[in-house]
Chains A and B, each alone.
Chain A
Amino acid sequence: DVKVTQSSRYLVKRTGEKVFLECVQDMDHENMFWYRQDPGLGLRLIYFSYDVKMKEKGDIPEGYSVSREKKERFSLILESASTNQTSMYLCASSSRNNYGYTFGSGTRLTVV
């Protein structure tokens, strides 16, 4: 069964901490995405990558960075966590030829 795996299902961090969210896919997909989902705001794109070492800003990149050193892994970094970054974070991947996304199970991050 093809998968997008996010390293943590629930995470609690303190304000100011540096936070790493990891995402690994086993489908050899070229494209990977990080979204956050908040009630009433829907899915918002943070960053995406269409190839190894390539990254593009989404709609809300402020306060975040990403890393894609290997094709299968896409990491989201919160440089200095703040309470307004409390959210559900969703990683997704897609292939160059099939535009539908496969989502990971999500990481519910709480910043206190």
Chain B
Amino acid sequence: QKEVEQNSGPLSVPEGAIASLNCTYSDRGSQSFFWYRQYSGKSPELIMSIYSNGDKEDGRFTAQLNKASQYVSLLIRDSQPSDSATYLCAVNPGKTSYDKVIFGPGTSLSVIP
């Protein structure tokens, strides 16, 4: 059974701090990794994708991938109250765009003003 695991949280950080969200996956052959943000009552929104080992930065967001450890993380710098949401880690275990993506259960983040 292919799995994606995340700490459910809630993770609370003060405004301006770095929020660190972690995700592990079971399928060593996985190729593509994604982070989605989901506000309460809304649909998920893609915020980061990463395909190779290392760091990928986009504004205040940094995704980190370590395929050897089967670990992907999302760092949010200078956290803002508007970052309060559930963050879903998603892994495409295959080589095609329509392979069944596996979503983690999500980590709830609360940024305290």
**A contacts, CB < 8 Å to B:** 30-31, 42-43, 45, 48, 50, 56, 58-59, 90, 94-106
Q: Name B105's contact: one of A42, A48, A98, A100 (CB within 8 Å).
A: A42
Chain B 20-61, CB-CB to A under 8 Å as 1, else 0, gives: 000000000000101010000011111001000000000000
Tell me whether B98 and A59 are in contact (CB under 8 A): no
Q: Name B97's contact: one of A58, A99, A102 (CB within 8 Å).
A: A99
Instruction: Give the size of the chain B interface in residues (CB under 8 angstroms).
Output: 21
- What's the nearest-Cβ distance from chain A to residue B51, in Å? 8
Q: Is the interface of A mostly helix, strand, loop or mixed?
A: loop
In the complex the two chains form, what is the Cα distance from A100 to B35 in whole Å?
Answer: 9
Residues on the B chain within 8 Å of A45, using CB: 100-101
Residues on the B chain within 8 Å of A95, using CB: 97
Residues on the A chain within 8 Å of B42, using CB: 105-106
Interface CB pairs A-B, < 8 A, 25: A31-B97, A42-B106, A43-B44, A43-B88, A45-B101, A50-B96, A50-B97, A50-B98, A90-B43, A94-B97, A94-B98, A95-B97, A96-B97, A99-B49, A99-B92, A100-B34, A100-B46, A100-B49, A101-B44, A101-B46, A101-B101, A103-B43, A103-B44, A106-B42, A106-B43
